[in-house]
Amino acid sequence: MQAGTRVVLGVSGGIAAYKAIEVCRRLVDGGAHVQPVLTRGATRFVGETTFSALASEPVRMSLWSEDEPIPHTRLGQGADVVLVAPATARLIADYAAGRSGDLLTATLIATRAPVILCPAMHTEMWEHPAVQENLATLRRRGVHIVPPESGRLAGGDVGHGRLADPATIVAAVESVLTPGDLSGLTVLVTAGGTREAIDPVRFIGNRSSGKQGHAIAEAAAARGATVSLVTASTLDVSGLTEVVRVVSAAEMHDAVMARADAADVIVMAAAVADFRPVQVMPHKMKKASGPPEIRLEPTVDILAALGRSRRPGQVLVGFAAETDDVAGNARAKLAAKGVDLLVANDVSVPAVGFEHDTNAVVIYGADGSVTPVELTTKLTAAHRVLDSALHVYRRGADR
């Protein structure tokens, strides 16, 4: 982010407030001017002194300041972005209802800067219809939501609702503040692992969660692109022009090919099955019948089909999940599929690839370029992939 970017960092009263200390540090290290605003509830979990020492200005908490009669207006008007981490269910409800009961909620209502909320709460609270409806209301108003992660919660519970990793939160701030360098471009993204039916119950599939593809789609939208996402994942998604849910490789092929010609950039992040059963049994196979013999046939190669049919100036990005000879396999696939960029990762490495919230990739270019992306959040990796794709697009436009 640009040096001097003014970030109002709101901290509300949840156990995850301690993570906001690391968010504050990362923002300051990145060059931001950070003004912390804490609720009274936040001080039950973290101290004012810590934030005042790490941030660019002392902590503000009160609407009633002798040296400044309208602090919420100054904060709201002066911010480049307002970030709340953690955002409790109460704060989300107050903000959705327009209730300004303290300095933080008053600042949220008084600002025209982008607002980013990072919810954190127990799973039962996160899944409550009232919380989800309030978030939906805020999304419609243009508020950016960094969804919570699954993991260990307060009290030893495990579930969904854990505050997003500080690196993910800072990446979201950078994304919101990034100039719309993809404005005017249409980006088509695929995500998730396809399922090829064996019978009405069983299928051939893979471990892809769709997280990386969804991160690419949302990052592209944040940078101003018109985005269509064709996904075999059930993950939630927001802010995109179009979301098409598919199951099989054939369904993904049809959805992609119907939209491919209109796209300036196509990112094939999906894990598409290579084979499918020749025959799908109409009824569930029974164990008593013994082990079945399942004959397979190749699925359609969507990436290769795009490589053969794409129009001039279109940028095509492929993905390769490997477990050995990553560089050799990636370069071979790069040449065979006719793509501009091939994003490869070693999914046998801890915290990389399938089902993780982090990734480490190498971006191979048809021009011989090699761009490594060390272990980071999938959102940050998404931006690096889009940076490379945009570079290829601009280079083609200049020719």
Omega prior to 200 cis, within 30 of 0:
no
pLDDT computed for residue 382 by the predictor: 92
pLDDT computed for residue 179 by the predictor: 66
Instruction: Please give the helix or strand (H or E) that residue 306 lies within, else none.
Output: helix 302-309
Between CA 363 and CA 384 the distance in angstroms is: 9
Between CA 204 and CA 224 the distance in angstroms is: 36
Report all structural domains of the chain as residue ranges with CATH numbers, in order of start.
Answer: 6-177 (3.40.50.1950), 186-398 (3.40.50.10300)
Nearest Cα residue to 167 out of 381, 382, 380, 386: 380
Instruction: Judge whether 329 counts as a catalytic residue.
Output: no
pLDDT computed for residue 222 by the predictor: 83
Instruction: Please give the helix or strand (H or E) that residue 255 lies within, else none.
Output: helix 249-260
Instruction: Exactly one of 134, 206, 345, 359 is catalytic; name it.
Output: 206
CB under 8 Å to 261, separation ≥6 — which residues?
A: 311
Helix pair 211-222, 166-177: axis angle to 10 deg: 30
Between CA 221 and CA 159 the distance in angstroms is: 28
Nearest Cα residue to 161 out of 188, 201, 126, 136: 126
**Amino acid occupying residue 215:** A
Per-residue pLDDT of the chain (399 residues; tens, 9 = 90+): 667 899 999 999 999 999 999 999 999 998 899 999 999 999 999 999 999 999 999 999 988 876 777 889 999 999 999 999 999 999 999 999 999 999 999 999 999 999 999 999 989 999 999 999 999 999 989 899 999 987 777 777 777 888 999 988 998 898 788 768 899 999 999 999 999 999 999 999 999 999 999 999 988 988 889 999 999 999 988 778 899 999 999 999 999 999 999 999 999 999 999 999 999 999 999 998 899 999 999 999 999 999 999 999 999 999 999 999 999 999 999 999 999 999 999 999 988 978 888 899 999 999 999 999 998 888 889 989 999 999 999 998 655
Between CA 257 and CA 266 the distance in angstroms is: 11
Between CA 52 and CA 7 the distance in angstroms is: 14
pLDDT computed for residue 355 by the predictor: 81
Residue 1: CB atoms within 10 A of its CB come to 18
Instruction: Please give the helix or strand (H or E) that residue 125 lies within, else none.
Output: helix 123-126
Between CA 126 and CA 119 the distance in angstroms is: 8
Between CA 330 and CA 44 the distance in angstroms is: 51
Between CA 24 and CA 170 the distance in angstroms is: 9
- The alpha carbon of 267 is separated from its chain's Cα centroid by a whole number of angstroms, namely 15
pLDDT computed for residue 1 by the predictor: 62
Helix (H, G, I), strand (E, B), or coil: what is residue 118? strand
Evaluate if pTM is beyond 0.75: no
CB under 8 Å to 110, separation ≥6 — which residues?
A: 72, 73, 75, 76, 77
pLDDT computed for residue 246 by the predictor: 98
